[in-house]
């Protein structure tokens, strides 16, 4: 096992996972070039990961079907990744060179998606199909690397296989230069130009340009090195077996590491080829995996996973422990100002939201009377608010609560009501009108306990317009 193979499977697996992290936002933004970039880099990382594990210290033909599929995936990725960078640079150039406040129609958007999908998806498929013309035999198995395509070293190979990644990368470099030139010339009106495109800001524009530039720096040298190696190096299959006939599809060459890594140029080409997809995946995550939209997706995913985790534990009888209450009231003036408690009286007949308790069940909506003694006294909010809502809408399990520093002195009996964000103190008393609830906590906590005020129906008769 070579030194690179000791760490390559781990990096390939990490690259596969990280390349899929920003996929959700790219789909929402309809960034077709970036989506195809994720597709090809993720496939490349997955193929190289499994191949490096299966053929570690081995050249056995243990998975022929996997080899037939994997070599074609790698053929497609060799032009798919540069093609995705080409589409990114092409779209950025059209955006930067468009007139300010240009409205992009749905037909233009659909046409751009079709063209980009043809360049990044259909062209790699056609390219992979053409390789059968220059394919010498079925495939080669390199120790510690896995299955690779075996192409006959002839002049048609350079036009059909070796030259296309380099040609695509050079076209991408032209579009990148033009887009940056247009960006510098239209910097004052760039915001208006980007406003016509969903979820595209100047910072994301620069990140896409940086990604395409890094891909160019990776693919152009690799393409030149591949052509130079094929033109100067001796074919490995000739060294393994001198009886190999051209285009013998029944042959599978099994090449130990000592042979394919003997020549430095060939060794470098093989290693760079299999590391290309992993490096491109890590570069993409570096540009988009730590952006603000990605961090928002991380927070959303963490919330979903956390809720699912605690809900699963709740099914087996384990509930999340409540956070401890403050041991002593705060005496700092600023803290007291931020955490001042007010008492709110909510009078309504309610049914319990969680299915526990002894409140009576009412089938008709009632009213909620919310008032703050301090607020009314200081004339900050005016008269108490009255809302007509259904009693079941008061769901304490979904309220964003925070801590109440101490038990209210104005209530004799009650309990702390836990929510997913904290606690608030509640005491209930049965009255002839219904159930009186005294709730004490920070003002925003209690105010958000009530659902929004429903809109009043319009007094204008149907069929008539208000002039």
Task: Say yes or no: 374 and 301 in one domain.
Answer: no
**Percent of the chain that is helix, strand, coil (3-state, to 5):** 55, 15, 35
Query: How far apart are the two ends of the chain, measured CA to CA in Å?
Result: 84
Q: Model pTM?
A: 0.62
Task: Say yes or no: 180 and 275 in one domain.
Answer: yes
Q: What pLDDT does 74 receive? A: 92
Task: Quickly list DSSP for 44-78.
Answer: HHHHHHHHHHHTTT------HHHHHHHHHHHHHHH
Spatial distance between the Cα atoms of 38 and 18, rounded to a whole number of angstroms = 10
Over residues 231-245, the pLDDT tens digits come to 776 554 444 444 444
Q: What pLDDT does 324 receive? A: 64
Spatial distance between the Cα atoms of 124 and 83, rounded to a whole number of angstroms = 8
For residue 298, give both structure tokens.
């991380």
Task: Say yes or no: 252 and 346 in one domain.
Answer: no
Does the structure show a pLDDT above 50 at 369?
Answer: no
Q: What pLDDT does 83 receive? A: 93
Q: Does 286 or 296 have the greater pLDDT score? A: 286
What would the mean pLDDT of 102-117 be, rounded to a whole number?
Answer: 82
Q: What pLDDT does 226 receive? A: 83
Task: Say yes or no: 294 and 156 in one domain.
Answer: yes
Cβ 425 vs Cβ 443: under 8 Å? no
Q: Does 201 or 50 have the greater pLDDT score? A: 50
Over residues 290-342, the pLDDT tens digits come to 777 777 777 777 888 888 888 888 888 777 666 665 554 444 444 434 444 44
Task: Say yes or no: 343 and 408 in one domain.
Answer: yes
Cβ 82 vs Cβ 177: under 8 Å? no
Residue 243 lies in a domain: yes
Over residues 134-149, the pLDDT tens digits come to 888 888 899 888 899 8
Does the structure show a pLDDT above 90 at 45?
Answer: yes
CATH number reported for the structural domain that contains residue 220 in this entry = 1.20.1070.10
For residue 353, give both structure tokens.
């939201």
Confidence of residue 58 (pLDDT cuts 50, 70, 90): confident
Q: Does 379 or 217 have the greater pLDDT score? A: 217
Residue 110 lies in a domain: yes
Spatial distance between the Cα atoms of 382 and 70, rounded to a whole number of angstroms = 72
Spatial distance between the Cα atoms of 165 and 168, rounded to a whole number of angstroms = 5
Confidence of residue 228 (pLDDT cuts 50, 70, 90): confident
Residue 45 lies in a domain: yes
What would the mean pLDDT of 189-196 be, rounded to a whole number?
Answer: 63
What would the mean pLDDT of 162-184 be, rounded to a whole number?
Answer: 88
**What is the span of the domain harbouring residue 416?**
339-447
CA distances for 21 relative to 18, 42, 67, 142, 301, angstroms = 5, 11, 28, 31, 11
Over residues 425-460, the pLDDT tens digits come to 555 555 555 545 555 554 444 444 444 445 555 554
Round the average pLDDT of the chain to a whole number and report it. Answer: 70
| Cα angle value 200/203/86 (rounded, 5°) | 70
CA distances for 427 relative to 12, 237, 345, 443, angstroms = 58, 85, 10, 17
Lowest mean pLDDT among 43-57, 151-165, 277-291, 392-406: 392-406
What would the mean pLDDT of 247-254 be, rounded to a whole number?
Answer: 78
Q: Which of 205, 225, 120, 134 is nearest to 168 (CA)?
A: 120
Task: Say yes or no: 103 and 231 in one domain.
Answer: yes
Q: What pLDDT does 244 receive? A: 44
For residue 273, give both structure tokens.
């080829």
Q: What pLDDT does 124 receive? A: 93
Three-class secondary structure of residue 420 per DSSP: coil
Cβ 329 vs Cβ 406: under 8 Å? yes
The domain boundary residue, chosen from 305, 326, 347: 305
Q: What pLDDT does 189 receive? A: 64
Q: What pLDDT does 100 receive? A: 61
Number of domains, the chain = 2
Beta strands in 36-136 (DSSP E): none
Residue 398 lies in a domain: yes
Task: Say yes or no: 300 and 348 in one domain.
Answer: no
Task: Say yes or no: 84 and 135 in one domain.
Answer: yes
Confidence of residue 383 (pLDDT cuts 50, 70, 90): very low
Confidence of residue 79 (pLDDT cuts 50, 70, 90): very high
What would the mean pLDDT of 195-212 be, rounded to a whole number?
Answer: 76
For residue 209, give both structure tokens.
């340009």
Three-class secondary structure of residue 411 per DSSP: coil
Cβ 186 vs Cβ 263: under 8 Å? no
Residue 452 lies in a domain: no
Cβ 131 vs Cβ 149: under 8 Å? yes
Confidence of residue 343 (pLDDT cuts 50, 70, 90): very low
Spatial distance between the Cα atoms of 409 and 423, rounded to a whole number of angstroms = 17
Q: What pLDDT does 112 receive? A: 86
Cβ 369 vs Cβ 384: under 8 Å? yes
Confidence of residue 125 (pLDDT cuts 50, 70, 90): very high
Q: What pLDDT does 439 receive? A: 52
Q: Which of 409, 411, 388, 402 is nearest to 448 (CA)?
A: 402
Q: Does 82 or 403 have the greater pLDDT score? A: 82
Over residues 21-44, the pLDDT tens digits come to 878 777 776 788 889 999 999 999
Does the structure show a pLDDT above 60 at 391?
Answer: no
């Amino acid at each position: 096992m070579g030194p690179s193979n000791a760490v390559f499977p781990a990096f390939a697996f990490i690259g596969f996972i990280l390349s899929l992290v920003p996929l959700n936002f790219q789909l929402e933004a309809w960034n077709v070039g970036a989506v195809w970039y994720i597709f090809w880099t993720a496939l490349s990382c997955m193929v190289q990961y499994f191949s490096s594990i299966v053929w570690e210290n081995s050249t056995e033909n243990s998975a022929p079907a996997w080899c037939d599929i994997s070599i074609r995936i790698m053929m497609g990725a060799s032009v798919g990744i540069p093609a995705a960078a080409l589409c990114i640079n092409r779209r950025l150039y059209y955006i930067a060179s468009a007139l300010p406040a240009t409205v992009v129609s749905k037909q233009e958007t659909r046409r751009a998606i079709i063209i980009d999908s043809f360049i990044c998806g259909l062209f790699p498929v056609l390219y992979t199909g053409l390789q059968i013309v220059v394919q010498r035999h079925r495939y080669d198995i390199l120790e510690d690397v896995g299955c690779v395509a075996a192409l006959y070293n002839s002049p048609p190979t350079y036009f059909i296989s070796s030259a296309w990644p380099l040609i695509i990368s050079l076209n991408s470099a032209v579009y990148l230069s033009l887009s940056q030139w247009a960006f510098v010339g239209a910097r004052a009106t760039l915001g208006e130009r980007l406003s016509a495109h969903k979820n595209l800001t100047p910072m994301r524009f620069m990140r896409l340009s940086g990604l395409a530039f890094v891909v160019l720096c990776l693919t152009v040298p690799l393409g030149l090195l591949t052509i130079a190696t094929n033109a100067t190096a001796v074919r490995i299959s000739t060294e393994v077996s001198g009886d190999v006939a051209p285009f013998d599809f029944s042959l599978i060459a099994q090449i130990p590491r000592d042979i394919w890594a003997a020549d430095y140029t060939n060794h470098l080409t093989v290693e760079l080829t299999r590391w290309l997809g992993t490096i491109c995946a890590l570069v993409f995550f570096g540009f988009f995996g730590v952006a603000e939209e990605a961090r928002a997706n991380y927070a959303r995913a963490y919330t979903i996973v956390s809720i699912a985790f605690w809900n699963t534990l709740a099914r087996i009888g384990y509930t999340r422990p409540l956070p401890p209450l403050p041991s002593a009231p705060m005496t700092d003036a600023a803290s007291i100002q931020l955490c001042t408690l007010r008492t709110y009286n909510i009078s309504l007949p309610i049914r319990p939201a969680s299915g526990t308790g002894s409140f009576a069940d009412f089938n008709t909506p009632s009213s909620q009377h919310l008032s703050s003694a301090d607020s009314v006294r200081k004339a900050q909010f005016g008269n108490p608010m009255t809302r007509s809502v259904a009693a079941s809408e008061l769901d304490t399990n979904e309220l964003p609560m925070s801590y109440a520093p101490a038990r209210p002195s104005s209530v004799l009996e009650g309990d702390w009501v836990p929510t997913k964000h904290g606690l608030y103190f509640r005491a209930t008393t049965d009255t002839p009108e219904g159930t009186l609830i005294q709730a004490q906590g920070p003002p925003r906590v209690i105010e958000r306990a009530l659902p929004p005020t429903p809109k009043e129906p319009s007094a204008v008769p149907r069929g008539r317009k208000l002039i």
